[in-house]
Structure 1
Amino acid sequence: MLSTAADYVVHRDSGGKRPSWGKLNSIAPTPSGSTPTLQPPAAVSAPASGEEFEMQDTTETDASPPADDPELRLPNWGSLVTIIGTNALLQFAFFITVSSASLYAEYLGGSPVFAGLTVGIPAAFSGLALIPLARYDQGRYTLPLQISYIAIIVGYILHAVAYKARFLYLILVGRIVAGLGFSGFMYSKRYCSDPRIIGIRRRTTLASWLVLTQAFGFSAGPFIGGLLYKVGFSNDIFNGYTSPGWVTSVATAVSAVAAMYFFQDVPKPYRIARANSLEVGIGAAPRFAPTEIQQEELGIGQLTGRQWGVIASMCWSSMSCFFILGGWEANIPIFTAHTLNYTPYAAGNFIAIGGIATLPFLLVSIRYSPRFQDRVTLATGSAIGVAGLILMLVLLATDRIIFGSFYVCWFLVALGFNLATTCTLSLLSKQLPNAWNGRTSMLIQYSNYVGRVAGAILGGAGVQMGMKNYIGVQLTVVGIGALLHATFWKQLKAKTG
């Protein structure tokens, strides 16, 4: 039995209506591309009735027009906007509690380290959730999206009611449940590099859009969280500590309803036995050449040393970027409270204005990143981020931490390492066979999770361990990544776009 990433068939209703999540047999078109497409015999025969002609017209009208060049292929806009919008929502949900996490934990008897744990722990459980999800998702996206929405809603309700229950660990439980929903991070990445629907020269651009929503999340999340804390609403149900949970739950419910209408999943795969002379006629040629089958079914043991080097370099780069970003986001509310006497509202604003300042540059990167090698973008972003870390170390050594200087450090770190994350998955997907898209998405997402968890814990303990040591650890991590990058520089060359 043989299958490839393109073994899909189109199912259309003659009415031409959009599907809902109640109809899991997707009507998304099967994209054309460099991977051979296997169709059932009925799909290749000439239409024999007017109804069949009508169904063909519906397919052409309802779906996005196919690109002339398969390397520039894109899915329909409704589905693409749903995926990118969901990524923005998940980023927002992840960071909305950052501003008030320390005080919320302290109010219920917790420590700053516990607060850092609540910020980072969702990533760990999200990684655990990916194992069964990847087994049962059938290479599709509807089930993971549904689980993400439900888990976020339930998790943030639990996070909110911890105040009324006066139970510290209910905060942690709520964040753990929400962490199951953050598995959507991997599926948004996988969708934007899926060779069935995304051309190879579109992947860096779509990755840039995902990073833009990432910047939106860590800007809008802390800002809204800090604003809600400042407004207060002094009652046991809706107040400065609990309101981020209620707001996130409502926003997620609205997004879930919108996704039910706009999102079209990829079709279900099916397997067909190898064609032989008895099935297709004497002397008929098989649909696939053996070399094409071997290319798609390349196993782990068949990867070259060059490919393993690229995998190691990209995974470490992805981990280090989120390690540093997560560390700063968890550390800023605690560090500024000790150094600048900031409230959660002020700390949330500080994080937000740093993130907002990066948005114009990230928008420019969407426009111009297809013109540059991914390895160049990665090196440039890392260099900008390292400049921010070095400047911060100098300020700590000279004891000159003021708003302006600290803000410049945060802006450089946020811009640099967000820019660097635009190309880790896209570069890896270009270097490995199409059939590896699911594996590469998992590798990069697990690297992100390791960075988020370790970074959040380190950020929560940054003041206790000493800020110079805290920055020194981050510079060491980036230094290892730079060494890997330099070692495999030639192997990191890939198509632009």
Structure 2
Amino acid sequence: MLSTVADYVAHRESGGKRPSWGKLNSTASTPRGSTPATQPSVSVDAQVAQNQEEFEMRDTTDANPPPPADDTELRLPNWGSLVTMVGTNALLQFAFFVTVSSASLYAEYLGGSPVFSGLTIGIPAVFSGLALIPLTRYDQGRYTRPLQISYIAIIVGYILHAMAYKAKFLYLILIGRIVAGLGFTGFMYMKRYCSDPRIIGIRRRTTLASWLVLTQAFGFSVGPFIGGLLYKVGFSNDIFNGYTSTGWVTSVVTVVVAIAALYFFQDVPDARRIENSVEVGTEATMASEVLEERLAISQLTGAQWGVIASMCWSSMSCFFILGAWESNIPIFTARTLNYTPYAAGNFIALGGIATLPFLLVSIRYSPRFQDRITLATGSTIGVTGLVLMLILLATDRVVFGSFYVCWFLVALGFNLASTCTLSLLSKQLPNAWNARTSMAIQYSNYSGRVTGAVLGGAGVQMGMKNYIAVQLAVVGIGALLHATFWKQLKAKTG
């Protein structure tokens, strides 16, 4: 009997069907209507051997059960398309931050002021936000056209950015960043793709959001590092030098990614074709589910509006604080630690790189926890960094080591918190609202990036203690929203 039990346990763990114990017991009992006088006696050992033989035969039959039907909650697109979208997000993050290290000196060389350099850093988010609404009417609910627009805009924008040196025209830097801003509309489409109910199951969205945040950390760490490195190397050439090389390198990398996307990316099915199609395949079934749900939407409840407000504020605050620190570090370290743009870029990069192992761990384990827990944990880590920085400023003990710890905690905490804003919101609202929720989160990101960059640039002038206090106030409002709608923020894991 020990071997039978072991076989049964192994069979249960392998996913086989559970045997009918009632059936086994019935074969061991004496049939009704028979008596010991008329029915031959059967030994207990013989019955046990017979039962074990029947069970092993049944176990062999079910050893290779038919594969289960696809679980829609664990749905994923093909790997080529998924890698294309995650890789494109890494490219866009890199392109956004690669000019940070040398922006002020590039503008100064052409006659611009530090305020103008800050404008060139923040202006892409403004024009990206302005372009989103008309682009969403043009995309037909798909992703190929937005990807093509992103690639073309990044290539053209950074070529213009690089040509400003040769043309001796300051405003060509700004024009190039504006054109590149049209390409940064891809940020919204990356988020929308990773929560699209037609291709992504509800238990996969937090995992994919974590991958996007990992590429986000890659962008704001590797981008400034490469920008500072190219500036330091210099290259004494009117076309390719320390100021222009970031633009040329970004354009070439974008061309490579665009060619790869041309071969590997498969778009979602056209909704109009599916609505008019007679055939009902897997793709048509997935899309029809969303279409049917769209017809059933009436209106959102007060609790759902509370969740929307909470997630949008969280998304804004994460990028507000990250953007403030990224724009403030070069200015603050130049006055406090005598850092050059190259050293400041390395400092930003070191903080971002240090977060990557922890973000990789979060990809593995965060799907096991609810999004609201991840959000609270990340916010707590980030606030710890802010409070520690405030203490250092109050005691006038800002040195490399202590300042680096603060930056690491801020970068890790608010990057981690930003992983679950869209995924949680997409789980709380109907599937047909995915495009709207993606837009809401992306506009929150843009507003945080722009206002954070402004705050970071003015941090030294307004006083660093006041600069940190504003950030703590923003996080405090978010904490109040989370506490108010904590029960409503509960959602499926994964």
Structure 2 residue 324 is matched with structure 1 residue 322:
no
Structure 2 residue 464 is matched with structure 1 residue 462:
no
Residues 78-477 of structure 1 correspond to what in structure 2 (within 5 A)?
78-270=80-272, 295-297=293-295, 302-477=299-474
Return the offset for 1:297: 3.2
For the Cα contact (< 8 Å) 1:298–1:433, is it kept in 2?
no
SS in 2 for 1:481: helix
**Alpha-carbon separation, structure 2, partners of 1:295 and 1:360:** 39
Structure 2 match to 1:489: 486
**Alpha-carbon separation, structure 1, partners of 2:293 and 2:408:** 43
> Per the alignment, do residues 67 and 244 of structure 1 end up closer, same or farther by CA in structure 2, a change over 3 Å counting?
farther
TM-score, normalised on structure 1?
0.82
Question: For each residue in 1:413-439, what CA deviation from the matched residue of structure 2 results, as whole angstroms up to 9, or x when unmatched?
Answer: 000000000000000000000000000
For the Cα contact (< 8 Å) 1:115–1:460, is it kept in 2?
no
TM-score, normalised on structure 2?
0.82
Return the offset for 1:108: 2.0
The one-letter amino acid of 2:130's match is L
> Per the alignment, do residues 132 and 66 of structure 1 end up closer, same or farther by CA in structure 2, a change over 3 Å counting?
farther
Q: How many residues align?
A: 421
SS in 2 for 1:323: helix
Return the offset for 1:391: 0.9
Return the offset for 1:166: 2.0
> Per the alignment, do residues 250 and 67 of structure 1 end up closer, same or farther by CA in structure 2, a change over 3 Å counting?
farther
**Alpha-carbon separation, structure 2, partners of 1:312 and 1:149:** 32
The one-letter amino acid of 2:474's match is V
Structure 2 match to 1:480: 477
**Alpha-carbon separation, structure 2, partners of 1:330 and 1:191:** 29
**Alpha-carbon separation, structure 2, partners of 1:406 and 1:166:** 38
Return the offset for 1:274: 11
> Per the alignment, do residues 111 and 67 of structure 1 end up closer, same or farther by CA in structure 2, a change over 3 Å counting?
farther
Q: Which runs of 5+ in 1 are unaligned?
A: 1-64, 280-286
SS in 1 for 2:203: helix
For the Cα contact (< 8 Å) 1:151–1:179, is it kept in 2?
yes
**Alpha-carbon separation, structure 1, partners of 2:115 and 2:486:** 38
For the Cα contact (< 8 Å) 1:113–1:457, is it kept in 2?
no
Return the offset for 1:473: 1.2
**Alpha-carbon separation, structure 1, partners of 2:234 and 2:205:** 43
SS in 2 for 1:492: coil
> Per the alignment, do residues 296 and 155 of structure 1 end up closer, same or farther by CA in structure 2, a change over 3 Å counting?
same
> Per the alignment, do residues 77 and 394 of structure 1 end up closer, same or farther by CA in structure 2, a change over 3 Å counting?
same
**Alpha-carbon separation, structure 2, partners of 1:298 and 1:122:** 38
**Alpha-carbon separation, structure 2, partners of 1:294 and 1:197:** 16
For the Cα contact (< 8 Å) 2:291–2:432, is it kept in 1?
no
Structure number with the bigger relative contact order (C-alpha 8 A, sep ≥ 6) is 1
Question: For each residue in 1:89-143, what CA deviation from the matched residue of structure 2 results, as whole angstroms up to 9, or x when unmatched?
Answer: 0000000011111221222222222222211111111111111110010110000
Structure 1 match to 2:18: none
**Alpha-carbon separation, structure 2, partners of 1:196 and 1:98:** 37
Question: For each residue in 1:272-323, what CA deviation from the matched residue of structure 2 results, as whole angstroms up to 9, or x when unmatched?
Answer: 8899xxx9xxxxxxx9xxx997743355x71000100000000000000001
SS in 1 for 2:195: coil
Residues 17-28 of structure 1 correspond to what in structure 2 (within 5 A)?
none
SS in 2 for 1:201: coil
> Per the alignment, do residues 86 and 386 of structure 1 end up closer, same or farther by CA in structure 2, a change over 3 Å counting?
same
**Alpha-carbon separation, structure 2, partners of 1:67 and 1:344:** 56
> Per the alignment, do residues 127 and 439 of structure 1 end up closer, same or farther by CA in structure 2, a change over 3 Å counting?
same
The one-letter amino acid of 1:218's match is F
The one-letter amino acid of 1:451's match is G
**Alpha-carbon separation, structure 2, partners of 1:273 and 1:85:** 31
Q: Which runs of 5+ in 2 are unaligned?
A: 1-66, 279-284
For the Cα contact (< 8 Å) 1:113–1:461, is it kept in 2?
no
Instruction: Determine which structure has the larger helix proportion and give its number.
Output: 2
For the Cα contact (< 8 Å) 2:101–2:342, is it kept in 1?
yes
Please say which structure displays the higher CA radius of gyration. 2
**Alpha-carbon separation, structure 1, partners of 2:205 and 2:124:** 27
**Alpha-carbon separation, structure 2, partners of 1:292 and 1:103:** 50
For the Cα contact (< 8 Å) 1:112–1:334, is it kept in 2?
no
Return the offset for 1:147: 0.2
Bigger drift between 364-373 and 166-175 goes to 166-175
The one-letter amino acid of 2:249's match is V
**Alpha-carbon separation, structure 2, partners of 1:274 and 1:142:** 21
Question: For each residue in 1:311-339, what CA deviation from the matched residue of structure 2 results, as whole angstroms up to 9, or x when unmatched?
Answer: 00000000000011111111111111111
Question: For each residue in 1:327-357, what CA deviation from the matched residue of structure 2 results, as whole angstroms up to 9, or x when unmatched?
Answer: 1111111111111111111111100110000
**Alpha-carbon separation, structure 2, partners of 1:471 and 1:168:** 33
SS in 2 for 1:200: coil
> Per the alignment, do residues 74 and 292 of structure 1 end up closer, same or farther by CA in structure 2, a change over 3 Å counting?
closer
Residues 52-71 of structure 1 correspond to what in structure 2 (within 5 A)?
68-71=70-73
Structure 1 match to 2:74: 72
